[in-house]
A and B are shown apart, each in its own frame.
Chain A
Amino acid sequence: MTRVLVVGAGPAGIRAAERLVRAGLRPVVVDEAARAGGQIYRRPPEGFTRPPEKLYGSEAGKARALHALFDGMVAAGQVDYRPHSAVHAIRDGVAHVGAARIPHDRLILATGATDRLVPVDGWQRAGVYSLGAAQIALKAQGVAIGRQIVLAGSGPLLTLVAAQLLAAGAGVAAVLDTSSLATQMRGGIGMALTRPAVTARGLAMRARLGRLYHAGVRLERIAADAVHWCDGWGRAQVTECDAVALGWHLRAETQLADLAGARFAWSDTWAQWLPVADEMGRAGPGLYLAGDGLRILGADGAEVAGALAANACLTDLGIATPGTRALLRRARRLHCFAAAMAHAFPWPSGQLDALPDAAVLCRCEGITLGQMRDAAGLGGAEANRVKSLGRIGMGRCQGRYCQLAAAALIARHAGLAPQEAGRLRGQPPVRPVPVGALLED
């Protein structure tokens, strides 16, 4: 039987596995988490009692369906499920998972996304988290990240997490959006045209934030007990807090796609490098990509992309697959919506350009903007050279949280477009692993 490996058990990975199983295959599904669902439909540990309606709100039905589908396939032995397992390298058709090796004929990567971060002076402090982290803490552990929380950044998660925290009884001090209302209106028209119900739900949620919400802000710095920011009229503001959550939309998790041989292209819409694939997710011989790791379409888009990637894989194996045309239509509509959303909540160039030299750019190793600029001065405006000389992107997160900002800053100082500063190449291991796991027998 053809050996198909699916990496990731979020909405994309689960829908991909479903199609493969229906076609009579038994895929291996590797997932880092203890329980399948991915990040947005992440499940709390066994023994927690809040129902899906409480955890996922309007999306509870979708979460429930995906969890039941995957649990059913595992119980029936239809998938070879490896939870708690991270692929740290892919080479010559073999995935390396700790000391284990998983050879495969076809590979479907559904690796999802992380928050897209922009450094703010002081963001290395304890008590500063990503927006996704604030949501995970609440959903999977029932905790708030602090007593008085400032949520800052831009994108759908900002409003969603703020509303979820308020509903759970958390103390929210302010919700600071770097996108102006005018920018949001321009993108919002496209959002409302393609998915009116989802857009209306977002606006209703925003309305619940009331006077906590501020648009068009610039974050100045995060101090020990407060966030300093400028409002939309340029007035200096200080909000006291003991926790901060930051995030600007999402960043595709692409390191495994890189190791598996995918090509990349700069996307102006999402202000990041994304893998190149056809509409079905084909990214190379035997390589298929799906979900936010390919294009940031969110959970609904990930379900569609997972099904499409599996259909592509099955078609290439000569197995007839139903439903591709309808899936493609839906994918195109979701793509229009997501692109409009990306324009409504853009990358905050102005704020990044105002970052002082002493600000920490790399949280892992405390490398400042000034140090990075010195490294760029020695080696030229190319991301991989700056990495070699200045260690930006070499820390324990492997550049996940600093590389987009670093590349943008390198480019700006050299007077180049961001894509001209190049893209940090992924290197195995993409996660820290014990040295023993890397030793060959």
Chain B
Amino acid sequence: MTGQLVRLAETGRAPVAFRFDGRDMTGLMGDTVLTAILTGAGSLRPAEFGPERRAGFCLMGACQDCWIWAEDGSRLRACSTPLAAGMRLLSEAPQGWPA
């Protein structure tokens, strides 16, 4: 699958393995979670209020468009969370939203 983002520089960094929606993926040391996912996938998550998907918008922590989930149920802002080896990430809340 082609990613939304394209690497142009700083490509000599060490690889970092993680998992997104059950799929094994590889980012680079120093990637944000957003960069790591979107260099291998087209989007981060479905929109809650529309049919489209979302892939972040401001990349500076102001718009909150890039919130995704870890398998343990915690939520993280992908644009400002550094990628760590072994992360298990999800595009949607593992249990759905609490009723």
Q: State whether A86 touches B30 (Cβ < 8 A).
A: no
CB pair A44–B52 under 8 Å, yes or no, is no
Q: List the A side residues contacting B56 at CB < 8 Å.
A: 129, 133
Which of B31, B47, B61 counts the most chain A CB atoms within 10 A?
Answer: B47
B42→A49 contact, CB < 8 A: no
A329 CB–B CB distance under 8 Å: no
Chain B 31-59 interface mask (CB, 8 Å, partner A; 1/0): 11001000100111001111011111111
Q: By the criterion CB–CB under 8 Å, are B55 and A127 in contact?
A: yes
Contacts of A143 in B (CB 8 A): 5-8, 35, 39
Contact of A45 among B50, B63, B82 (CB under 8 A): B82
Q: CA separation between A253 and B60, bound complex, in Å?
A: 12
A136–B60 touching, CB < 8 Å: yes
- Contact partner, A243, options B4, B9, B10, B12, Cβ 8 Å: B4
B1-35 residues with Cβ-Cβ distance < 8 A to A are 4-13, 29-32, 35
- Which residue of the partner chain A has the closest CB to B31? A141
| Overall SS of chain B's interface | loop
Given A126-B55, A128-B57, A141-B32: A401 touches B63 (CB 8 Å cut-off): yes
B-contact bits for A339-374, CB 8 A (1 contact / 0 none): 000000000000000000000100111110000000
Docked pose: A420 CA to B62 CA in angstroms: 27
The binding surface of chain A is classed by DSSP as loop
A397, B64: Cβ atoms under 8 Å? yes
A114 and B64 contacting across the interface, CB-CB below 8 Å: no
Taking the complex as formed, is B67 at the interface, i.e. its CB lies under 8 A from any CB of chain A?
yes
Chain A residues lying within 8 Å of B82, measured Cβ to Cβ, are 34, 45
- How far is it, in angstroms, between the C-alpha of A50 and the C-alpha of B67 when the chains are bound? 29
B9 contact set on A, CB distance < 8 A? 50, 142, 168
Bound CA–CA A128/B58 (angstroms): 10
Q: How far is the CB of B10 from chain A (nearest CB, A)?
A: 4
The answer to whether A129 and B59 touch across the interface, beta carbons within 8 angstroms, is yes
State whether A363 touches B63 (Cβ < 8 A). Answer: yes
The reply to whether B52 and A32 form a contact with Cβ atoms under 8 Å apart is no
Per-residue CB proximity of A127-154 to B under 8 Å, as 1/0? 1111011001110011111110000000
Q: How far is the CA of A291 from the CA of B79 in the complex (A)?
A: 24
Say whether B57 contacts A170, CB under 8 Å.
Answer: no
Q: Which residues of B contact A384 (CB under 8 A)?
A: none
Residue in contact with B50 in the complex, picked from A130, A360, A400, CB distance below 8 Å: A360
The interface residues of chain B lying within 8 Å CB-to-CB of A242 are 4
- Point out the residue from B6, B43, B59 that lies within 8 Å of A170, measured CB to CB: B6
A234 and B62 CA atoms in complex are apart in Å by 35
Inter-subunit contact A364/B10 (CB<8 Å): no
8 residue pairs bridging A and B, Cβ less than 8 Å apart: A39-B60, A47-B13, A114-B58, A124-B50, A127-B4, A146-B5, A170-B6, A242-B4
Q: Which B residues are closer than 8 A to A by beta carbons?
A: 4-13, 29-32, 35, 39, 42-44, 47-50, 52-65, 67, 80, 82
Which residues of A approach B to under 8 Å, CB–CB?
32-34, 39, 44-50, 86, 114-115, 124-130, 132-133, 136-138, 141-147, 168-170, 242-243, 253, 360, 363-367, 396-397, 400-401, 431-432
